[in-house]
C-alpha cells in the first residue's frame, strides 16, 4: 500500500510541476510577461429575453472576440461598442469575451447568464406519409410569435405553410431545414430523414412548366436571343452567326439554316444562327425534350445544348455544359450526348453516342432527364438511353449542375470537331428543323 501511495504522490508532483510550467503561457505575452490589459464585461437585462453586453476591459489591446453562447459571435476593434443580444429560449448561456493584444497575447473573461422565460422556440415534426413512402409531412411546431418562416429541402423552398409536404423521389438520406425570421433575425432547425426506395413514377409526375412550339411567324424574343459573330466560338468554327436572318418560323417549325457565302472555307465563308434563352428561360433540374430533324453533309455541326447561367462569373467549363444532342455530318446517323465540367471537358468530356438511322430524314425527340442524382440522355423515350452521367461523389468539379442552365440551338460549320474531315461546299444550304422545346418539372 505504501509503495502505491508513493507512486501516486510522484505522479501528482509531476502533474503540479507540469501545470506550473504551462500556467505562465495562459494570458501572457510572447515574452512570458503578463499582458498589459485585462478582459472584463458587464451585462444588463433589457427585458426577459434581451441582454445588453458592455465591454469593461482595461489597458492597451487590439481586438475583442465575443461569443454570446447562443450561436452569435462578434469581432470588433471598437472598445466602446455594446451589443444587444436576443435569447429566445429559457436556459443558462455561457458568454465569453477574448481580448487580443497587438502581439497576439490574450486574456479572456466568461460569465453565465440565466434566461428565465421562453419567448420563442423553433421546432418542427417530419413524419413519413403512411400511404406514400416518398413523401414527408412537415409541421411547424415552433412556440411564440415570429414574422415568417420557410422550409428548405433538396432544391425546394416552401414559404409560410405550417403544414407542408416534402417530396423525395430517390432513396437516400436528406436534410430538412426550417428557417424562421423574427425581428430581422433568423433561426434554423434541421432534421435528417431517410427514404428507403426510389419513386418508380417520378418521371411521369413531372409537369410541363415551359414550352416553345414555334407558333406564329417569327422567333419569340421573350424566349430567345440571337448571338452574333464569326469569331470561331472557341472551336475554330467558320460560320458567321447573324441576328436572325438564318432562323425562320413557319407552320409551327423553327428552321435554322447554314448557308455558304463563298468557297474560301475561312471564317465568314458561311452564315447561320445561334439562339439562346440566357436571362429569359433558365432551369435547374427537370425533363428537357426537343423534337428536331437534323441536317446532313460533311462539315455540318448542329447542336441542342445547355450552359450554366453563371458562365459570366464562373467561366467555362466550371459553369457546366449539357450537350443534349450533337451531330457531325461526317458521321451520319450517329447522335452524341456529352457533359462538360472542370473534371472533364472538350475531348475529355463525359459522353456517349447512339446510332439513329433516320436522324436526317425524320423528327426525333432528344431529351435529358436531369435530377440532383443523375442525368439520363435519351432519344424518343427514356428507355432508349444514349448516355447516363451520375458521379457517385459529387463535387463542384464534376457536378456544377445544381444551378440554372439555359438552352442553345445552333448549326455550326467546320470547327475542331465538325470540320475534322473537311467541309463539302456542295451540301449547302443545310437546315436543322425544330418542332418544339419543352421543360417538365416538379410542381
Indicate which residues carry an active-site annotation.
321, 326
- Cα 231 off chain centre by: 31
Burial code of 386-401, b = ≥16 C-beta within 10 A, e = fewer?
A: bbebeeeeeeeebbbb
Supply angle C-alpha 429, 431, 435, rounded to 5: 160
Could you give the CA distance from residue 74 to residue 80 in angstroms, rounded to a whole number? 14
Q: CB under 8 Å to 168, separation ≥6 — which residues?
A: 134, 135, 136, 153, 154, 174, 193, 195
Nearest to 146 by CA among 177, 178, 99, 112: 178
- DSSP three-state, residue 93: strand
CA dist 98 to 37, 50, 55, 59, Å? 11, 22, 11, 14
User: What number of residues does the chain have?
Assistant: 443
- Cα 211 off chain centre by: 24
Q: What is the DSSP letter of 237?
A: B
User: How is 112-168 classified by DSSP, letter by letter?
Assistant: EEEE---S-B--EEEEE-SS-TTEEEEEE--BS--SEEEEEETTEEEES-SEEEEE-
Could you give the CA distance from residue 171 to residue 435 in angstroms, rounded to a whole number? 36
Cβ atoms 151, 166 nearer than 8 A: yes
Amino acid at each position: 500500500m505504501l509503495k502505491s501511495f508513493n507512486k501516486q504522490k510522484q505522479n501528482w508532483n509531476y502533474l503540479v510541476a507540469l501545470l506550473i510550467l504551462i500556467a505562465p503561457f495562459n494570458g501572457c505575452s510572447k515574452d512570458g510577461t503578463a499582458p498589459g490589459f485585462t478582459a472584463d464585461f458587464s451585462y444588463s437585462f433589457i427585458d426577459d429575453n434581451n441582454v445588453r453586453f458592455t465591454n469593461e476591459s482595461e489597458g492597451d489591446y487590439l481586438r475583442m472576440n465575443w461569443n454570446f453562447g447562443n450561436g452569435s459571435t462578434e469581432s470588433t476593434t471598437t472598445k466602446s461598442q455594446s451589443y444587444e443580444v436576443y435569447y429566445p429560449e429559457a436556459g443558462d448561456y455561457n458568454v465569453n469575451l477574448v481580448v487580443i493584444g497587438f502581439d497576439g497575447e490574450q486574456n479572456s473573461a466568461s460569465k453565465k447568464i440565466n434566461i428565465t422565460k421562453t419567448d420563442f422556440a423553433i421546432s418542427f415534426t417530419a413524419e413519413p406519409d403512411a400511404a406514400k413512402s416518398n413523401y414527408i409531412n412537415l409541421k411547424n411546431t415552433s412556440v411564440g410569435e415570429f414574422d415568417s418562416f420557410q422550409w428548405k429541402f433538396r432544391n425546394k423552398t416552401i414559404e409560410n405553410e405550417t403544414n407542408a409536404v416534402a417530396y423525395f423521389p430517390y432513396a437516400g438520406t436528406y436534410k430538412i431545414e426550417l428557417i424562421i425570421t423574427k425581428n430581422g433575425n433568423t433561426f434554423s432547425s434541421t432534421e435528417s430523414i431517410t427514404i428507403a426506395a426510389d419513386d418508380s413514377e417520378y418521371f411521369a409526375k413531372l409537369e410541363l412548366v415551359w414550352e416553345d412550339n414555334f407558333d406564329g411567324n417569327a422567333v419569340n424574343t421573350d424566349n430567345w436571343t440571337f448571338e452574333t459573330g464569326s469569331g470561331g466560338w472557341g472551336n475554330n468554327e467558320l460560320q458567321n452567326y447573324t441576328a436572325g436572318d438564318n432562323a425562320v418560323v413557319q407552320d409551327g417549325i423553327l428552321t435554322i439554316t447554314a448557308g455558304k457565302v463563298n468557297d474560301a472555307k475561312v471564317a465568314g465563308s458561311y452564315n447561320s444562327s445561334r439562339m439562346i434563352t440566357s436571362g429569359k428561360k433558365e432551369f435547374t433540374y427537370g425533363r428537357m425534350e426537343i423534337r428536331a430533324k437534323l441536317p446532313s453533309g460533311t462539315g455540318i455541326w448542329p447542336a441542342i445544348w445547355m450552359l450554366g447561367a453563371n458562365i459570366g462569373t464562373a467561366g467555362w467549363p466550371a459553369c457546366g455544359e449539357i450537350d443534349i444532342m450533337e451531330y457531325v455530318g461526317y458521321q451520319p446517323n450517329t447522335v452524341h450526348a456529352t457533359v462538360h465540367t472542370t473534371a472533364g471537358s472538350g475531348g475529355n468530356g463525359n459522353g456517349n453516342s447512339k446510332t439513329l438511322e433516320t436522324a436526317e430524314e425524320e423528327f426525333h425527340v432528344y431529351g435529358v432527364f436531369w435530377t440532383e442524382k443523375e442525368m439520363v440522355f435519351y432519344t424518343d423515350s427514356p428507355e432508349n438511353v444514349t448516355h447516363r452521367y451520375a458521379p457517385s461523389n459529387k463535387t463542384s468539379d464534376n457536378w456544377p449542375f445544381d444551378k440554372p442552365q439555359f438552352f442553345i440551338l445552333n448549326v455550326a460549320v467546320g470547327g475542331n470537331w465538325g470540320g475534322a474531315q473537311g467541309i463539302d461546299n456542295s451540301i449547302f444550304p443545310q437546315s436543322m428543323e425544330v418542332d418544339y422545346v419543352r421543360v417538365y418539372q416538379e410542381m
